[in-house]
Structure 1
Amino acid sequence: MGVNLPLDPTGEPSLAERSVPRRAPLTGAALSAVEERILAPLNEAQRRAVTTTAGPLLVLAGAGSGKTRVITHRIAWLIQHEGVAPWKILAVTFTNKAAAEMRDRLHEMIGEAARDVAMGTFHSLCARMLRRDGEAIGLPKGFTIYDADDQARVIKGFLKEDDLPATGETKPSLILGAISRAKNDGLNADQMEDRAITHHERLVARFARRYATELKRLDAVDFDDLLLEGLRLLQEAPAVADRYRAKWEYLHVDEYQDTNRIQYTWVRELAAKHGNLCVVGDDDQSIYSWRGADIRNILDFERDWPTAEVVPLEQNYRSTQTILDAAHGVVSNNEGRKKKKLWTELEGGDQITVYGAFDPEDEAAWIVRRIEEASAVVTGRRADAPEPVSLNGIAILYRTNAQSRAIEEALLRSSIPYQLIGGTRFYQRREVKDALAWLRVLRSDTDRISYERILNVPPRGIGDKTIELLRAAAAPSVSAPDGTPYGHVIAAAGRGEVAGVNTRARNSLAGIADVISRLRDRIAAVTLPELLDGVYSESGLRAHLASEGVEGEERWANLLELRGISGRFMELAPLDALDRFVEDTALVADQDAFDGDAERVTLITLHAAKGLEWPTVFISGLTEGLFPHSRALMDQEQMEEERRLCYVGITRAKRRLSLSYALRRGWGDGDGAPSRFLAEIPEELLVVANDDDPRADGETRFGRGFRSARAGFAGGESWREGSGTPGAPSGAFRPGRDLEARRRAYSAGARSGSLRVPDTDGIDEAPDDDEFIGEAPELMQPVGRIPPWAATGRGAAGAPPQTAGTPLPPPLRPRTVAPARARIPGERYFRDGDRVLHPSFGEGIVVTSKLTRHDEEVTIAFAGSGVKTLAASIANLEVQG
């Protein structure tokens, strides 16, 4: 980042803090200079928000209205105009990325004083408060923060003990989700049991009690506990609470519409003494109710703080008026919102393009073709086009993670680089979690989950039986009511003091204990990168990855990246650096992995895209039942949140916006209809791309289906039952003629090996959750050579038009093995479009392949497993005829 790490905002005031009185406000020329520098870049509403410093303030900041600028300029105004000491100011954000951006901007304005402003996410601030003062409520200083993977391991341990499956109602993610929602509502295990009515609720309550007991025994907390314990610290430790209330006289909360009940109460507790609370947010962007966010926090702010001033920011600096009017056309249909309408001084702006596709593959192919046409970087054919688009200025947004599959395949086919946000995050990669587990055990003897992660990384022959013996030895007993720390048990087992552990396991455990002891001795004497070097070397991680070939090289690169990140903490004392590094890596969010400078297209869910922006945006999947989601069709509150999500997606676009939908989402699905949100956008703002489609005549073009949908929604037609898409109006499309005509139009050049995944009911209940439920994907037609138009990435949308007499595609033929192909040194064996069979992944199409120093890497789109890159020498691939 551009500035040094902030000082710990939760510590005791320094001598300087205690002795420096509040500076008197500036006057004369000095005042004029400060006012000019801070206020000149702001519009009238922003100035009012910045200079209103006493008492509660609600800043209603519409999308792209400069809310970060307002917060940073307000803090600068407090320090340089009002004479407030920087350490008296607290600013709370929701992501590390937002906090870092805010601090960088503040540093540019006021210099090193920015380091003294307390700034961070709710979770990071609570974590640091608890590190310092948690013992006041019985929480040890050295607690471990468990992420989602660690939490799942705990629940899986319970399931194994109870001989229960990790599926159905005892699926770990479902249990943990229910526990998390209860915690966000402020409920503990006792309260969950009292309120449980159904069998599943009683089951979850029992697991919640065991889960809480186990985490306490392991000296661990999860993300929800950070907030709960942070609030409990303020409510049950009066002396500690008074110190923080006295320390922070001015509170700023960003994205206030996303706060849950615990965060809301935490803020009220801190602001109780001085009342100088500034919250910034937009009720139209409240899209996280599924994780506890309560829109009432912002809607009822004036009721909670009767003396509050309200400043609306309605001037937008991001998007064209066309885009803003489209977003307003959608969100203005919500009843539960504060009235406001964004406007801009930006001139120009194209109409919004709408495309109706036959299926997700057609939709993806059209998006890719539009990217090729707009980007001189990709094609090299449009260098003379006005304002050629860079790939890093393009984003494709979708409602659920499962939708990215077709888009990824189309991009791969056209060799367009992309970054997938919300896939496997950096800190969730296996080797990175392995390394972090080693760091965690260096600071905790009780973290069983981390200890068990490192026992066989690299493999050491420590089996399940040995692990059960270690767990039994660590469990509570008459002599040790609270149990024995797991690290102590491992050391004892290495000395032969745990009965039943065989010689091989005993030697391995002795080696682990010895490595941990040596690394602990070095912590205070080396930098954090040097400590990681020791972990990589002495744990055996480095040697293990070196033996894994190409895959090992990629994983080793991730460990080197982790080492580089650790260098950011070198200015802290060694122990503090280790604690902060482990803590911050546990609190990283999806958006923190976003690289806005990378020359590649961004694929991201609508939820994860909030707070980001691009010159060109595609929103795919605007089909009734998908977006809005089927769960919202009969629920007014959920429908309003879906509408807000659409508003967020539209306002991510700066200059160009394209919206698309598919009438068929997957194999076996009924006919779908365009989303109602398309009908809510004023028609004069839209242009239907299908009107220029040479393959479709006036009777069959998808533009007719789109217009029928508009008419159906506008006319208030009754929702039909038993249709392919719940909630679609009966006049939204013509299922007989339109779909059959589209089938004929595409049959002339139907994509060989078109892979279709069935629609899912997987509402994006966690933006980084890639799981979805549905039938097994199937191959819809035979896989063979990809025709030239498909190889360019155009898919069916780039196929030649149907001509009279063109036969329909043949039925699926039996699988045959192709004749043996000669292997020529220095040349690729696998060709783009080859139909191949893998013993585990099944049938797929070769998207591309490339030669490496020792092998051929083959990228294949599998019907049941998605896109994978395999080493040809060990993949056992069979080319089919």
Structure 2
Amino acid sequence: MPVPGPAAFGRGVVVSSGAAPPAPWSDAPVVTIDDDVLADPAATVVTLHDAWARRQPIVVALGVDPARFRHPESIDTEPWRLAPDAEPWSDRLHFLVWANTYDARAGEPTWWWGVKAARVADGATARADGVADITLPGGAPAWIDGGPRRPWSLDDTDGAEVVHSESVEAGTLATVPAPVEPSAPLAVDQLAAVGHMAGPSRVIAPAGSGKTRVLTERLRHLHRDRGYEPAGVLAVAYNKQAQLEMQARTTDFRPRVRTLNSLGLWVLAEHRRRSPAVVNERDVRDLVESLMPGGRPRRSNTDPIGPYVESLSLIRLGLVDPDVVEAMRDDVPGLAAMFPEYRRRLADRGVVDFDEQIYSAVETLLRDGPFRRSMQSTCRHLLVDEFQDLTPAHVLMLRLLALPALDVFGVGDDDQCIYGHAGADPAFLIDYAGLFPGAVAHPLNVNYRCPVEVVDGARTLLGYNHRRVAKAITAGPDNDTMAGTLRLVEHASDAAATAAVDVVSAWLAEPGVEPVSIALLARVNSLLLAPHVALHVAGIPVSSVLRPDVLERTGMRAALAYLRIAASSEAMAAGDIVEILRRPTRGLPQWFPERLHRRARWSVRQLRAVADQVTDKDGHKVHRLADDLHVVTDAGRAGTTRDVLETVRDDVGLGSAMSLLDRTGGGQGSSHLDDLEGLLGVADLHPDVGGFEQWLRDVFGRAVDPDGVT
């Protein structure tokens, strides 16, 4: 038969190892598949994928029976042992060998897609005249394209229609529409992203650049203009609110839209033939508490369960070794042993928690190769929102589903990465092409929402990020150009809360300005603590996202315990000393907390007496603890709340300890060091060390006003 079809298709050929390729491929690069490749296929898969994505004709020389890599591989490995870019290489190897190649092992090249297509519909026939691959039931000639899906003009295909191989696999011979521009009125940069031709794409979308519109119009373009099978296109939203917004904008064609967690739950439901129930936070905490090591008495104003819940999340979403997580924290003894038992208990009950929806979905996709292949047929084209906030487990799940073509349209902004506590990393956007080979960058450069001064200020501020995608951000042509829309207020580092109250009070003094019209933002939640409290103290109504449980975060708990110690001087509560034992770490023996709980109160002198009763090695550590507590109690006798907190941060070393915890991924949505700064921001509002904590809790006990400052 005449081969190899229109040159634009870039078709290759498969031959037996050692055989000469047919004449059309005599000068094409040769990729050999042999035993060595099957033992370590990564490099060969990269080469094959590059050729397939660029439609470069190649010769695949088969030196092994292709049945050896035909069936999808199953991987029985704990997901936390894997990197986000891990994959069963056979998925891509099998696909790339055959996706866009003739089979010439028997001599005459055979285009198997034409043979398969002829079986899809009555009246369709394969043809060997070189005019096309098949004759459609209506008599029209058509090619079956096996490359990355894209629209074709008749000029590119010698006047014949095109059916994509995805359609053949879906049981239809629907022809590929001619190229058309997206129908929505879009800006130039948005139009380029929505009309992206083929393969994966990274869309960097700064705030106000029309991210959601680009996503929804891309969905509409694929469904309406390009005729993609709806069962193969899936949009993935970061949370329920984003999912509902996408659905509200696409009611005219109702695409499939799922959140990340509902995607994981769907994977599990398909595999188990039923959807597992999702337990609530109370059930999670009860289960964790039942598995915690003994001898951990619950103390007032502490939450010993929370650190375990956070650490279980870091293991499963951050894909971190349980032993590493336990070692890098000082408040989760026995975590590594708890982890498999916690998961076993969930499995025995047939339920999942929030993070297990993702982790168990990844595990299922890895362990059941045939099931993974069936799910991949429903996720051929993924559109993923808020890519910068994906954790390693999210990325791994999406890649497993997007294999083998890895056609993912990822939208996000590396400058807005806010969920680093579970391993979210702007590198997933920065190095996007490493995860999704051949990805084309489509930056959105225009902010259509904010006044020009605000856009200019944001651009300057974001420029201080050293690890980011280089980007230009400009204001839209219709943005507000009024001067004074951005005002910078300089203040001392310890006067942020007072400055915020002054600004808000000045606004409220203007005619017609209501508290509900004012929003106060901070980099992380814990830095809202000072303005939250200061506004309350000033009598300004507040509707804040902060709740009393912010005081139970690791850094907060330790700092408040030090304040109680400073106020109690020679009668330090045993529970408070236990709370700060490992903040900073002091290497004290495991039996020491139990020894402390033998009495309710301690003085520094009594602690030193214990040091004289133990080995020299342990005694030195106890003396070091006593030295630290002596410094803290001295600060409490002579100084203010701020004096004590600064002493604890700088002299005792709590600041360094919290920085270390932040670097190791143990943050809970924001930095532990920020927690200390948050407390310091409120310290001057109540300088009395002894009454500070109760005063702070009383402020949080006040009712939130829904019409207050946000």
TM-score range, shorter chain: 0.5 to 0.7
Q: Which of 140, 163, 170 matches 2:295?
A: 163
C-alpha deviation, 1:393, in angstroms: 4.5
Instruction: Please tell me whether residue 348 in structure 1 is matched to residue 181 in structure 2.
Output: no
AA matched with 1:125: L
Q: Give, in whole Å, the separation in 1 of the partners of 2:702 and 2:329.
A: 45
Q: Give, in whole Å, the separation in 2 of the partners of 1:781 and 1:255.
A: 40
Q: Name the CA shift for 1:843/1:288 in 2 (closer, same or farther; >3 Å).
A: closer
2:233 maps to 89
2:270 maps to 132
Instruction: Please tell me whether residue 865 in structure 1 is matched to residue 698 in structure 2.
Output: yes
C-alpha deviation, 1:49, in angstroms: 0.7
Q: Give, in whole Å, the separation in 1 of the partners of 2:692 and 2:652.
A: 32
Cα shift readout 1:68-107 (whole Å, capped 9, x = no counterpart): 1111111111111111233321111211111111111122
2:503 maps to 367
Structure 2 unaligned segments of length 5 or more: list them.
Answer: 1-168, 550-638, 704-710
Q: Give, in whole Å, the separation in 1 of the partners of 2:505 and 2:325.
A: 57
Q: Name the CA shift for 1:415/1:721 in 2 (closer, same or farther; >3 Å).
A: closer
Matches within 5 A, 1:470-549: none
Q: Give, in whole Å, the separation in 2 of the partners of 1:361 and 1:766.
A: 22
Q: Give, in whole Å, the separation in 2 of the partners of 1:421 and 1:665.
A: 28
Structure 1 unaligned segments of length 5 or more: list them.
Answer: 1-16, 136-140, 379-390, 426-663, 673-719, 728-760, 783-811, 813-840, 845-860, 871-881
Q: Give, in whole Å, the separation in 2 of the partners of 1:421 and 1:133.
A: 38
Matches within 5 A, 1:337-486: 337-344=468-475, 345=477, 346=479, 347-350=481-484, 351-356=486-491, 359=495, 362-374=498-510, 376-378=512-514, 391-399=515-523, 401-404=525-528, 407-408=531-532, 411=535, 417-421=541-545, 423=547
1:791 maps to none
Instruction: Please give the secondary structure, in 2, of the residue aligned with 1:371.
Output: helix
Instruction: Please tell me whether residue 279 in structure 1 is matched to residue 405 in structure 2.
Output: no
Q: Give, in whole Å, the separation in 2 of the partners of 1:781 and 1:252.
A: 50
Instruction: Please give the secondary structure, in 2, of the residue aligned with 1:284.
Output: helix
Q: Name the CA shift for 1:313/1:420 in 2 (closer, same or farther; >3 Å).
A: same
Instruction: Please tell me whether residue 325 in structure 1 is matched to residue 477 in structure 2.
Output: no
Q: Give, in whole Å, the separation in 2 of the partners of 1:104 and 1:367.
A: 37
Q: Give, in whole Å, the separation in 2 of the partners of 1:63 and 1:194.
A: 34
Instruction: Please give the secondary structure, in 1, of the residue aligned with 2:443.
Output: strand
AA matched with 2:413: D
Q: Give, in whole Å, the separation in 2 of the partners of 1:724 and 1:184.
A: 30
AA matched with 1:423: R
Q: Name the CA shift for 1:423/1:101 in 2 (closer, same or farther; >3 Å).
A: farther
Q: Give, in whole Å, the separation in 2 of the partners of 1:726 and 1:205.
A: 27
Q: Give, in whole Å, the separation in 1 of the partners of 2:227 and 2:370.
A: 27
C-alpha deviation, 1:366, in angstroms: 1.0
Q: Give, in whole Å, the separation in 2 of the partners of 1:282 and 1:134.
A: 36
Matches within 5 A, 1:780-795: none
AA matched with 1:261: P
Q: Name the CA shift for 1:241/1:422 in 2 (closer, same or farther; >3 Å).
A: farther
Q: What RMSD in Å do the two structures reach over aligned CA positions?
A: 4.4
C-alpha deviation, 1:220, in angstroms: 2.7
Q: Give, in whole Å, the separation in 2 of the partners of 1:37 and 1:186.
A: 42
C-alpha deviation, 1:404, in angstroms: 4.2
C-alpha deviation, 1:417, in angstroms: 4.8
- Greater gyration radius: 2
Cα shift readout 1:740-765 (whole Å, capped 9, x = no counterpart): xxxxxxxxxxxxxxxxxxxxx99972
1:225 maps to 356
1:118 maps to 256
1:145 maps to 278
Instruction: Please tell me whether residue 766 in structure 1 is matched to residue 669 in structure 2.
Output: yes
Q: Give, in whole Å, the separation in 1 of the partners of 2:684 and 2:396.
A: 52
Q: Give, in whole Å, the separation in 2 of the partners of 1:671 and 1:200.
A: 23
Q: Which of 206, 209, 228 matches 1:65?
A: 209
Q: Give, in whole Å, the separation in 2 of the partners of 1:72 and 1:22.
A: 23
AA matched with 2:269: R
Q: Which of 176, 191, 199 matches 1:55?
A: 199
Conserved? CA contact 2:383–2:410, under 8 Å: yes
Conserved? CA contact 2:238–2:386, under 8 Å: yes
Cα shift readout 1:763-800 (whole Å, capped 9, x = no counterpart): 9723799x96879x999779xxxxxxxxxxxxxxxxxx
Q: Give, in whole Å, the separation in 2 of the partners of 1:197 and 1:398.
A: 28
Instruction: Please tell me whether residue 311 in structure 1 is matched to residue 463 in structure 2.
Output: no
1:242 maps to 373
Conserved? CA contact 1:314–1:340, under 8 Å: yes
C-alpha deviation, 1:367, in angstroms: 3.4
2:177 maps to 25
C-alpha deviation, 1:253, in angstroms: 0.9
Q: Give, in whole Å, the separation in 1 of the partners of 2:685 and 2:455.
A: 40
Instruction: Give TM-score scaled by structure 1 length.
Output: 0.43
C-alpha deviation, 1:332, in angstroms: 2.0
C-alpha deviation, 1:298, in angstroms: 1.4
Instruction: Give TM-score scaled by structure 2 length.
Output: 0.52
1:214 maps to 345
Conserved? CA contact 2:501–2:534, under 8 Å: yes
C-alpha deviation, 1:722, in angstroms: 6.4
Q: Name the CA shift for 1:211/1:375 in 2 (closer, same or farther; >3 Å).
A: farther
Cα shift readout 1:565-602 (whole Å, capped 9, x = no counterpart): xxxxxxxxxxxxxxxxxxxxxxxxxxxxxxxxxxxxxx
Instruction: Please give the secondary structure, in 1, of the residue aligned with 2:220.
Output: helix
C-alpha deviation, 1:666, in angstroms: 5.5
Q: Give, in whole Å, the separation in 1 of the partners of 2:345 and 2:545.
A: 33
Question: Aligned pair count?
Answer: 428
AA matched with 1:84: Y
C-alpha deviation, 1:375, in angstroms: 6.1
Instruction: Please give the secondary structure, in 2, of the residue aligned with 1:280.
Output: strand
Cα shift readout 1:427-464 (whole Å, capped 9, x = no counterpart): xxxxxxxxxxxxxxxxxxxxxxxxxxxxxxxxxxxxxx
Instruction: Please tell me whether residue 105 in structure 1 is matched to residue 282 in structure 2.
Output: no
Matches within 5 A, 1:670-685: none
Instruction: Please give the secondary structure, in 1, of the residue aligned with 2:382.
Output: strand
1:603 maps to none
Instruction: Please give the secondary structure, in 2, of the residue aligned with 1:97.
Output: helix
Instruction: Please give the secondary structure, in 2, of the residue aligned with 1:208.
Output: helix
Conserved? CA contact 2:318–2:424, under 8 Å: no
Conserved? CA contact 2:326–2:334, under 8 Å: no
Q: Name the CA shift for 1:246/1:177 in 2 (closer, same or farther; >3 Å).
A: same
Q: Give, in whole Å, the separation in 1 of the partners of 2:245 and 2:208.
A: 15
Q: Name the CA shift for 1:349/1:79 in 2 (closer, same or farther; >3 Å).
A: farther
1:268 maps to 399
Q: Give, in whole Å, the separation in 2 of the partners of 1:209 and 1:26.
A: 53
AA matched with 1:394: I
Conserved? CA contact 1:669–1:724, under 8 Å: no
Conserved? CA contact 2:501–2:538, under 8 Å: no
Instruction: Please tell me whether residue 668 in structure 1 is matched to residue 660 in structure 2.
Output: no
Cα shift readout 1:622-656 (whole Å, capped 9, x = no counterpart): xxxxxxxxxxxxxxxxxxxxxxxxxxxxxxxxxxx
Cα shift readout 1:595-614 (whole Å, capped 9, x = no counterpart): xxxxxxxxxxxxxxxxxxxx
